Amino acid sequence: MPRQTRLLGPVCVALLACNSAIASDNLRVSGFGNVSLIKSGTENLGFKYDLTKEALYDEWSLKPGSSLGLQLNADISDQFDAVVQGVLQDRLDNDLNKTITWAFVRYKANPNLTFRVGRIATPIYMLSEYRDVGFAYLWTKPITDFYSSIPITYVDGGDITYNTQLGEGIFEATLFGGTSDVTIETIFESYEVTLSPMIGAKFTYSLEDWLFSAVAATTKVKDGEPAQTLTANIDSNPTIAAVWPESTSFSSDFMFQDTRVSYYTVGGHYESGLWNAQAELSYTDADWPFFPDLAAGYFSLGRTVNNTTYYGFASKAKTVDDLYEVAAPSTFGLSISQVAEAYQLINSNVNARFIDQETLGFGLRIDITPQMALKGQVERTWLKNDQIGGWLQTIQGLSAAAPDYIDTYSISLSFVF
């Protein structure tokens, strides 16, 4: 039996028991949804809503941003409660396990100390608890430069949270750990990757209209080899290895298993009746040629007039590490078509991982009712120095000229119930 199934089973059984054993007013049902239409990408560069979804190649689509969620909250006792949340949305791997985004039991030891065990939201960014709830933020979708490279949405494990009064505000510290399975799309196909163990800490401080947060997390790749298809041709062709001996190291150099990935972020949010401001900065440290160290950030500002909020944002993502250097074959080796093609494919894939882009976006949000909002957004992303790593490429796109910029248009109807 898969580990996730063993872990989620007791939690779901607990909720079912609550449903039959506890009065109905202790069981609450709520939900949320997004109907989102997005157009982005080019013929060869695909827009990535995030790494777990199919890319958009210069087309309109409802798939990436649309979703429907349902949440059950059950009060077991004064100290115990349980939560199950499921989200239906388009994913590369859309099985029941991925659909269950939360499934945990919570124990409140006292007003300041809380324990959770089961499947919890990964608390590594400001939208952790509501990334799928479009009604909860201004934009039509999470800001791409910052969020598209974060495929981790949940952890199978648990956390411990302590909060206390500090000055005029509330300080909260959370320690979390567990395992996460993610599906990642590549130029060839999608791959399942298991991250374990994942451990981290999150600190927040809330004061009147302000919220500040800081997170540090680290994990290792337990299973999954997204570069396997890329190196398979070389490994199975003795001619390539004989003429290009440096290629024999690719299988080990490109191995994802046992790679450590660390993530650091700081953020702040201000919200009053008229103004909404939010900013986040992140740094991802990964020892893998196809995901060199990445820095990203954004600043968003909105102004509300009656039931309409006008907003704008600026964001940037940039690779801050040296790329893996692919040793070229000899002149003789390049004269052999098999070797030349293999070198071109490997080298272009590595170079295409470099990210250097900036985005400027504007939009408006109309709150139709207290539970429904209509949003529209336009944004332009400039690809600096012909770097295309922020987009999914076709094989043809690896050698095609990069555009100076790509425009993205999105319209969404978000609601809660």
**Each residue of 294-321: pLDDT tens digit?**
999 999 999 999 999 999 999 999 999 8
pLDDT at 23 over 80: no
pLDDT, tens only, 346-402: 988 888 889 999 999 999 999 999 999 999 999 999 999 999 999 988 888 887 889
- Is it the case that residue 18 has pLDDT exceeding 80? no
Please report whether residue 88 resides in a domain: no
Strands 210-223 and 27-40: unpaired
**Three-point CA angle 308, 313, 315, nearest 5°:** 160
Identify the sign of the CA torsion 234, 235, 236, 237.
positive
Looking at the domain assignment, is residue 101 inside a domain? no
3-state secondary structure at position 278: strand
Residue 100 lies inside a defined structural domain of this protein: no
**Amino acid occupying residue 233:** N
Which of these, 97, 82, 121, lies nearest to 3 by C-alpha position? 97
Per DSSP bridges, beta strands 308-319 and 356-369 are antiparallel
Look at residue 116 in the predicted model and tell me its pLDDT.
Answer: 98
pLDDT over 60 at 96, yes or no: yes
Quote the CA–CA distance of 21 and 18 in Å, as a whole number. 5
Give how far Cα 242 sits from Cα of 60, 147, 325, 335, 373, Å. Answer: 47, 43, 20, 14, 62
* Max Cα distance, the chain (Å): 79
Task: Say yes or no to pLDDT of 293 above 70.
Answer: yes
Under a CB-based contact definition with an 8 Å cutoff, are residues 65 and 34 in contact? Answer: yes
At 8, the pLDDT band (50, 70, 90 cuts) reads very low
Question: What CATH number is associated with residue 186?
Answer: 2.40.160
What is the distance between the alpha carbons of residues 147 and 128, in angstroms, rounded to a whole number?
Answer: 11
Euclidean distance between CA atoms 67 and 412, whole angstroms: 11
Q: Is 388 inside a domain boundary?
A: yes
Determine the pLDDT at residue 169.
Answer: 98
Dihedral pair phi/psi, residue 4, rounded to 5° = -65, -40
| Distance (Å, whole) CA 269 – CA 290 | 32
**Range name among 183-187, 278-282, 345-349, 408-412 with the lowest pLDDT average:** 183-187
The pLDDT of residue 198: 96
Q: Is the pLDDT of residue 21 over 60?
A: no
pLDDT for the residue numbered 146: 97
Give a yes or no: residue 17 inside a domain.
Answer: no
Checking if the pLDDT of 11 tops 90, the result is no
Please check whether residue 365 lies inside any domain of the structure. yes
User: Could you give the 3-state DSSP secondary structure of residue 245?
Assistant: helix
The confidence band for 86, taking pLDDT boundaries of 50, 70 and 90, is very high
Provide the residue range defining the domain that includes 301: 35-66+108-416
pLDDT tens digit sequence for 132-170: 999 999 999 999 999 998 878 899 999 999 999 999 999
Taking only the tens place, the pLDDT of each residue in 225-255 is: 988 888 887 888 888 989 999 998 998 999 9
Q: What is the pLDDT of residue 24?
A: 64
Is 393 domain-assigned?
yes
Q: Out of 15-24, 77-86, 255-264, 311-320, which region has the weakest mean confidence (pLDDT)?
A: 15-24
Number of domains the chain is built from? 1
Q: Helix-strand-coil percent breakdown of the chain, rounded to 5?
A: 20, 50, 30
Residue 87 lies in a domain: no
State the pLDDT at residue 19: 43
Omega before 197 cis (within 30°)?
yes
